[in-house]
Structure 1
Amino acid sequence: MDDDRPLHDTTGTLDEALERLHATGPERHGWLTNHAPMAVEALVRRGHAPAVHRWLDHYRPKLEDMPPLHSPVTDANWREALGDPARIADWARYFERETEERPWREVLAAWWPRLLPGIAGGATHPVIRTGHAVRTLLTTPETAPRRAELAHALGYWAARHQPLPPLADLAAAPSAAAALDAVPPVPRQDGGVRDRLPQLTAFPRWGAAPDPETAHALLTELVTAATHRYATRAHGEPIMLVHAATAPNAVLRTLPALPRELWAPSLSAAWSASAAVTAAYTPPEPAPYTSVTLTAEEVFERAAAHGDDHTIKFTDTALDVGDPLALAAAARAIELNPPAL
């Protein structure tokens, strides 16, 4: 897994893009996610900084201003504000203060276990945004816009925090791939994710980790399996199924910033997020895919030219996995998702 690729940006493009975006909210139309902070981080990361502002100009009509403040979130009242999307701006302001007054790793370590039970909230977009923000802070110099991006990501997660329904255990699976194959689909495969996740009842047992090293290895296995599975199952819903891979990969990217005692529960939460998306959208039968002979850089160049935000983010995860099947899965996303540029 390519976790620590250096940031290909000496121009300040990422900070400029984040500053543009922090005046906007994390959602539009009351539910749809603003994917721009994640997509621009991936574009810069993969060497496409010169295209970022043009991409943002094209995406700008989809953005809305940050919602108005409601009332301050504090250390005394945060529990009552958790999971309240009307408090998105309050939560962003709270985490801006926290990350200005304390080291960002300290803030992340305190809030990560509080937020993990709601990892599927916002269709997993908040944890994905957090993973992109943490990757940047771990591998590049810390700047105010990059620190603010983590604050906005955590604030979005807190506002959209929503635990999954109680789930029974099915038979144990021997591998991540087998576990994903054994996830039962939700009974009614229609409507949006908010209609589908409440139908979840049970997942296969998988991913018990007695130590941090095992948790890291199993999480890597899960990201690989979910990325590979997209190659043959993406036709079920090519936009939503990317999250079965990008959500656990966001957790994997965050592990190095967390205390090691949080790695095993992070694996458990990542499995639940990946399984939930799989159950909600997986098709009944696989479909063939085409192998690719392109390099990783060529595949990402095609994703960047394609312009779709989900395709860019999924291809970024596929490059982390890095093997031929992962690149074929990325090519499948480019094929199936509507181009945006």
Structure 2
Amino acid sequence: MDDTGTSHDTGALDEALQRLHRSGPERLGWLTNHAPMAVESLAARGQARAVHRWLDVYAPRLEDLPTGVEPVTPANWRAALGDPRRAADWIGHFSHEIAERPWRDVLAQWWPLLLPGVYGGASHPVIRVGHAVRTLLSGESTGPRLAELAHGLGYWAARHHTVSGLTPLPGAGSATAALDAVPPIGVRDGGFPARLGRVRGLPVWAADVTDPDAARRHLAELVRAATHRYATHGHGEPTMLVHAATAPNAVLRTLPALPRALWVPSLRVAWTASAAVTAMYAPDGPVGYTPPGTFTAEEVVERALAHGDEHVIKLTDTALDTGDGPALAAALRAIELSEPLR
């Protein structure tokens, strides 16, 4: 077990990633392939023996890696950025880069270029990168783990989508209060891109942070607040509101691999992403939630695995990073609200 409180079974995880790298990052043209993130979560939480069994159930949803269009080069990469048709090209580009240079150098170069486009793919690409980085930080940089980082970065580049022109609204001192102050969008229907286009303004929070260590503390506070909030607000949209917590947590997990100069801008973008998801899927009001008993972290993980839904597994993983009772309650709430994997 490493200093993040996670442990990975290298063999089981690497075998699963090898299986998955024959598949594309999406299915049906826009739905995300969650399997790489879910199997990493399971392996990290002591469930490596269940990884292949879970993947066997999820596998029928997977589609083959798409065909490339043309290689991404220093001359054409800007034109390829944000073009989902270029997913295979981008994955190939990052596979080459990571084969030629240390993965941390590649990540440090591309993180500030990709960070403004964190909203593409409903924030799944940065979440996938966060899982990949955790595996690399927790142990050996095996071929499948390095390939997974290339797939995550390639997906992010292909789905790169920025947001601009948001009006700063009155903020709050704590992350909890700031999330409470997020105004819901006026029309709450349609998919993620349509809803994102209706977000006009978000509360200001942590705008005066300039110190990297303070940025990391504030990011951890945001993850905790968004995770806790799911227990009482997750009914607004049980799947999508998971990302209000898992997206900033992916950024938090990546910070140790990044130059400290990138920590403050990472906090800024993570807040905007979490707040935007909150605005897009907020329910009309909170509901009280009392967990059905007292459970250990290990028991909550086992319940999430038995349920099987990929978002439940990922939120449970994030809840264990926070590690307190309200966070575990949020994971149990996700189990109640979500459809099991069949």
Contact 1:237–1:281 (8 Å) recurs in 2: yes
How far the C-alpha of 1:213 sits from its partner, in A, is 0.8
SS of the residue 1:199 aligns to = coil
Separation in structure 1 between the aligned mates of residue 78 and residue 200 of structure 2, nearest angstrom: 26
- Match for residue 159 of structure 1? 158
- Match for residue 324 of structure 1? 325
Alignment of 1:103-252 (within 5 A): 103-208=102-207, 209-252=209-252
- Match for residue 308 of structure 2? 307
Q: In the alignment, residue 185 of structure 2 is paired with which amino acid?
A: V
Separation in structure 2 between the aligned mates of residue 100 and residue 24 of structure 1, nearest angstrom: 20
Q: In the alignment, residue 276 of structure 1 is paired with which amino acid?
A: A
- Are 2:316 and 1:339 equivalent residues in the alignment? no
Contact 1:92–1:152 (8 Å) recurs in 2: yes
SS of the residue 2:193 aligns to = helix
Separation in structure 2 between the aligned mates of residue 276 and residue 40 of structure 1, nearest angstrom: 27
How far the C-alpha of 1:186 sits from its partner, in A, is 1.0
Contact 2:8–2:138 (8 Å) recurs in 1: no
SS of the residue 1:169 aligns to = strand
Separation in structure 1 between the aligned mates of residue 3 and residue 67 of structure 2, nearest angstrom: 36
Contact 1:248–1:270 (8 Å) recurs in 2: yes
Q: In the alignment, residue 90 of structure 2 is paired with which amino acid?
A: W
Deviations 1:257-299 (A, max 9, x none): 0000000000001001101110100102101111341001100
Contact 1:81–1:87 (8 Å) recurs in 2: yes
Alignment of 1:22-101 (within 5 A): 22-101=21-100
Contact 1:3–1:253 (8 Å) recurs in 2: no
- Percent sequence identity is 67
Q: RMSD across aligned C-alpha pairs, in angstroms?
A: 1.0
Contact 1:14–1:40 (8 Å) recurs in 2: yes
- Are 2:292 and 1:270 equivalent residues in the alignment? no
Q: In the alignment, residue 33 of structure 2 is paired with which amino acid?
A: N
Separation in structure 1 between the aligned mates of residue 3 and residue 248 of structure 2, nearest angstrom: 13
Contact 1:3–1:320 (8 Å) recurs in 2: no
Q: In the alignment, residue 195 of structure 2 is paired with which amino acid?
A: R
Q: In the alignment, residue 244 of structure 2 is paired with which amino acid?
A: A
How far the C-alpha of 1:199 sits from its partner, in A, is 0.5
How far the C-alpha of 1:187 sits from its partner, in A, is 1.0
- Match for residue 21 of structure 1? 20
How far the C-alpha of 1:7 sits from its partner, in A, is 1.9
Separation in structure 2 between the aligned mates of residue 35 and residue 119 of structure 1, nearest angstrom: 17
Separation in structure 1 between the aligned mates of residue 6 and residue 225 of structure 2, nearest angstrom: 25
Separation in structure 2 between the aligned mates of residue 335 and residue 241 of structure 1, nearest angstrom: 14
How far the C-alpha of 1:74 sits from its partner, in A, is 1.0
Contact 1:117–1:269 (8 Å) recurs in 2: yes
Separation in structure 2 between the aligned mates of residue 203 and residue 268 of structure 1, nearest angstrom: 12
How far the C-alpha of 1:172 sits from its partner, in A, is 2.2
Separation in structure 2 between the aligned mates of residue 133 and residue 15 of structure 1, nearest angstrom: 11
SS of the residue 1:153 aligns to = helix
Separation in structure 2 between the aligned mates of residue 139 and residue 15 of structure 1, nearest angstrom: 13
Q: In the alignment, residue 334 of structure 2 is paired with which amino acid?
A: A
Contact 2:315–2:331 (8 Å) recurs in 1: yes
SS of the residue 2:341 aligns to = coil
SS of the residue 2:197 aligns to = helix
Separation in structure 1 between the aligned mates of residue 123 and residue 150 of structure 2, nearest angstrom: 17
SS of the residue 2:170 aligns to = strand
Q: Name the TM-score, length of structure 1 as normaliser.
A: 0.98
Deviations 1:147-197 (A, max 9, x none): 000000000000000001420101121110111111111111011111100
Structure 1 residues 94 and 110, CA gap change in structure 2 (3 angstroms): same
Separation in structure 1 between the aligned mates of residue 246 and residue 40 of structure 2, nearest angstrom: 14
Separation in structure 2 between the aligned mates of residue 200 and residue 166 of structure 1, nearest angstrom: 10
Deviations 1:121-152 (A, max 9, x none): 10000000000000000011110100000000
Separation in structure 1 between the aligned mates of residue 180 and residue 5 of structure 2, nearest angstrom: 31
Q: In the alignment, residue 183 of structure 2 is paired with which amino acid?
A: P
- Match for residue 102 of structure 1? 101
Q: In the alignment, residue 286 of structure 2 is paired with which amino acid?
A: P
How far the C-alpha of 1:3 sits from its partner, in A, is 6.3
